[in-house]
Amino acid sequence: MTITCFIRYEIDPFGKAAFEEYARNWGQAIPRCGADLIGYFAPHEGSATTAYAAYNIDSLAAYEAYRARLAADPAGKANYEFARREKFILKEDRTFLKLASGPHAPRHDPQKLQSFQTEIMPEGKVKL
């Protein structure tokens, strides 16, 4: 059973650029070390201090082996050191979740859906 690791970061509001560099670095090291990276997400609107990361891994046992590989990886070591030195991460919370909503229906193109709805229910003919 695949599990997803979600990480919630509290970052220094003036450290957004450093966090984005940190995220790009993990974008190379994490997949190389065995996890399926969904992505890192930096603040854009709203909170200037909340960021997230998510990746899939096969199991908690696979996670432990992955973390050991990541700690031994030269890019992983350098990125851990970068975060320690720059101190832009104030807090990090990690949780593991399993997908509960799958399997999902295929995604529909909104343009095609709008056309479909218009053909079935012409505008002005629908009573609410």
What are the distances in angstroms from CA 57 to CA 24, 28, 54, 66, 80?
A: 19, 16, 10, 9, 20
Predicted TM-score of the model (pTM): 0.80
Q: How far apart are CA 121 and CA 126, in angstroms?
A: 6
* Torsion over CA: 101, 103, 109, 115 (sign): negative
- Burial class from Cβ neighbours inside 10 Å (0-12, 13-18, 19+) for residue 94 reads exposed
Tokens 């995604």 found at? 107
Predicted confidence pLDDT, tens digits, the chain (128 residues): 899 999 999 999 999 999 999 999 999 999 999 999 999 999 999 999 999 999 999 999 999 999 999 999 999 999 999 999 999 999 999 999 999 998 889 988 877 766 655 555 556 555 55
